[in-house]
A and B are shown apart, each in its own frame.
Chain A
Amino acid sequence: MRDTQAAPLVQVEGLKMYFPVHTGILRRHTGNVKAVDDVSFAIHQGETLGLVGESGCGKSTVGRALLRLYEPTAGRVVIDGEDIATLSHEALRRKRPTMQMVFQDPQASLNPRMSLSAIIAEPLTEHTKLTAAQRQNRVYELMDQVGLNRRFANRFPHEFSGGQRQRIGIARALALNPKLIVCDEPIAALDVSIQAQVVNLLEDLQDTLGLTYLFISHDLSMVRHIADRVAVMYLGRIVELSPRDDLYARPLHPYAEALLSAVNEPDPDRAKTRKRILLKGDLPSPANPPVGCNFCTRCPKVFARCLTEKPALVQVEPGRQVACHLFETIHPATGSTGGSEAKEHLQHGVTQ
Chain B
Amino acid sequence: MDYNFAYLDEQSKRAIRRSLLKAVAIPGHQLPFASREMPLPYGWGTGGIQLTAAIIGKNDVLKVIDQGADDTTNAVSIRQFFARVTGVATTTKTVKASIIQTRHRIPETPLQEGQIMVYQVPMPEPLFKLEPRRTETRILHALGDYSLMYLQLYDHITRYGRVAIGYDFPVMVHDRYLMSPSPIPAFDVPKMHMSPALQIFGAGREKQLYAVPPYSRVVPLAFDDYPFAPLQAQAPCAICGSQHSYKDEIILDDKGTRQYICSDTDYCEQHRC
A binds B: no
Interface residues of A (CB under 8 A from B): none
Interface residues of B (CB under 8 A from A): none
